[in-house]
Amino acid sequence: TEYATIVVETRGRVGWITLNRPEVLNALDTQIMRDVVAAATAFDADEGIGAIVVTGSERAFAAGADIKEMESKTAREMVEDDHFGDWSRFAAVRTPVVAAVSGYALGGGCELAMMCDIILAADTAKFALPELNLGVMPGMGGTQRLIRAVGYAKAADIILTGRRIDAVEAERSGLVSRVVPASDLLEEAGKIADTIASKSLPSVYAAKAALDAAMETPLAEGLRFEKEAFAALFDTEDQKEGMAAFREKRAPEFRNR
């Protein structure tokens, strides 16, 4: 499928989505939202895909929601057309998603990265939630996901001041998992995604679902979820294969069932 605002490729078992509105630093308008959601859900439905990478350009992962598209909207319109609503379908894919961030990840761009499971940052990455500078506030999950990533003190500082943080501060704060030289970003993101995609799909889906559950449930409920998900994997062929391979001192050959 051809998309107007993104480039989509499959490399081995990894699906790549490259945001491609360079003239506006990948500002996220309705079209790019639809394209990213369509590409991600198509990869999610494909058994040949075990991980997804989302990336932008060297200069910008994404400089935010498209300000020019939003500018004239009324509150009623924002509610009625649920302006950012489709992004929840991106956040809900079962397949792990790696965000490979170089340059600006501002506002909705930072919020898109936070919908992903792993954020890999180039040393040139700059993160901010600058919405208060525009007279609004984060609206694509920023107030809820940033606090879960970095805690109240840092999240309040970042959101209320709108200041930018660099890759080093982002890693120190727990917003990103690793920082790499910009020239290595895509290669390293590919390695992470290949590693995930080499595992048994049922175990990967279950682990991601349990991680997600941890974000939204009290501990006791999350532990119940984990216990059931863990037990269910013992009915998969890949559990038998994975453990037999260990016993036989060889690499497992997972069949994703």
- How many residues bind to ligand HXC according to rule CB under 6 A? 20
Selecting among 111, 141, 170, 207, the annotated active-site residue is 111
**8 A C-beta contact, residue 158 and residue 172:** no
Q: Which of 56, 107, 202, 252: binder of ligand HXC (CB under 6 A)?
A: 107
CA dihedral 144, 148, 149, 153 (to 10 degrees): 90
Shortest distance in whole angstroms from residue 224 CB to ligand HXC: 34
Q: How far apart are CA 6 and CA 25, in angstroms?
A: 13
Burial of 216: CB neighbours in 10 Å, binned 0-12, 13-18, 19+: exposed
- Collapsing DSSP states into helix, strand and coil, what is residue 185? helix
**Is residue 84 classed as helix, strand or coil in its secondary structure?**
coil
Rounded CA-CA distance 179/121 in Å is: 5
The phi, psi pair for 247, rounded to 5°, reads -60, -40
Q: Which of residues 155-214 bind ligand HXC (CB under 6 A)?
A: none
Q: How far is the CB of 58 from ligand HXC (least distance, A)?
A: 13
Q: How far is the CB of 29 from ligand HXC (least distance, A)?
A: 8
Name the one range near ligand HXC by CB under 6 A: 43-51, 127-135, 195-203, 224-232.
127-135
Does residue 111 carry a catalytic annotation?
yes
131 assigned to active site: yes
Site for ligand HXC in 40-79 (CB under 6 A): 63-68
Judged by beta carbon, residue 148 or residue 164, the one nearer ligand HXC is 164
Mapped onto helix, strand or coil, the DSSP state of residue 54 is strand
What gap in Å lies between CA 44 and CA 51, rounded to an integer? 9
Output the residue with the shortest Cβ distance to ligand HXC: 107
Identify which range of 24-32, 94-102, 114-122, 196-204 contacts ligand HXC by CB under 6 A.
24-32
Interface residues toward ligand HXC, by CB under 6 A: 24-25, 27, 63-68, 104, 106-108, 130-131, 134, 136, 138-140
